[in-house]
Amino acid sequence: MTTLPAPVRRRSHGWISQLVGVAALLLVWWFFTKVRPLFPSYVLPAPDAVLKELQYGLFGELPDGRLGVSIINSLRRVAIGYVTALALGLGFGMVLAASKSVRDVVGGWLTAVQSIPSIAFVPFAILLFGLNDRAVLFVVILEGFIPVTLAVSSALQNVPPGWRTAGRTLGASSTQLFTKVLLPASLPNLATGARLAWSFSWRALIGAELLTANPGLGQALEIGRNTANMALVLATILIVGVLGGLFDAVLHVLETRVRRNYGLEVLS
């Protein structure tokens, strides 16, 4: 009989535990909506009602099948905003790492801005750009840009000074020092910053769409609220959670792989 390696067994057990948790949650939900209802069905619908709304939204014809279009619109916006935030954050993080004067001027307030909830920037974005995609993208880019900038700046500053000295001693130019020494040495922290930026960008996207009336998952939540359709609200929350979790899982795998390659994380 073939025995699975210990890490594979542990991963399998992890998935099984998560499935058991989901099944337990569904059972509790079903019990308190079907057997011993705690609230009216229009306040807390049963799992089958949410599943029906989900199927209707994903596979029904427009305008009822709006969830499929909403998913496409939201993914398009977050892809544009996230990639832009990564590019801008990488560039500005390098400037911060290279210049102490710039760090002294903007480093403190950059950290302060990061502590402001993304929803607080939505009214500012609406007044600046109007009720359109640009307002949503502004909030998404802002929320993704700051963690990437801080991660890049911190990563480059924390490269051991001896590595820079060794590169210079071996005759590396400034470009070679950055591309051959500093950037590779910073990759683990950059991977962590990229994953963190995704989390910020995704949450900012939903909040911005909620208030800017642009077709998307956030607006689907608002439609559900306006029409008192709790099944639509829960179905949309489910989609937001699943999509956010899937992308985070992919980035987590990439981050873990980078850290293992650098000997910063052991196989568990």
Radius of gyration over alpha carbons of the chain, in Å?
23
Task: Please tell me the distance from the alpha carbon of residue 118 to that of residue 125, in angstroms, as a whole number.
Answer: 11
Q: Is the pTM of this model over 0.85?
A: no
Q: Which residues contact 67 (CB under 8 A, 6 or more apart)?
A: 54, 57, 58, 217, 220, 235, 236, 239
Alpha-carbon distances of 115 from 32, 192, 194, rounded to whole Å: 38, 18, 18
With beta carbons less than 8 A apart as the criterion, state whether 180 and 171 touch: no
Q: Which residues contact 162 (CB under 8 A, 6 or more apart)?
A: none
Handedness of CA 32, 36, 38, 44 (dihedral sign): positive
- From its phi and psi, is residue 263 left (phi > 0), alpha (psi between -120 and 50) or beta? left
Q: What is the pLDDT along the chain (268 residues), one digit of tens a residue?
A: 555 566 556 666 677 888 898 899 999 999 998 888 888 888 999 999 999 988 888 887 766 667 888 999 999 999 999 999 999 999 999 898 888 888 888 878 888 888 888 889 999 999 999 888 899 999 999 999 999 999 888 888 888 888 878 888 888 787 888 888 888 888 888 888 888 899 999 999 998 998 887 789 999 999 999 999 999 999 999 999 999 999 988 988 888 888 787 766 655 5
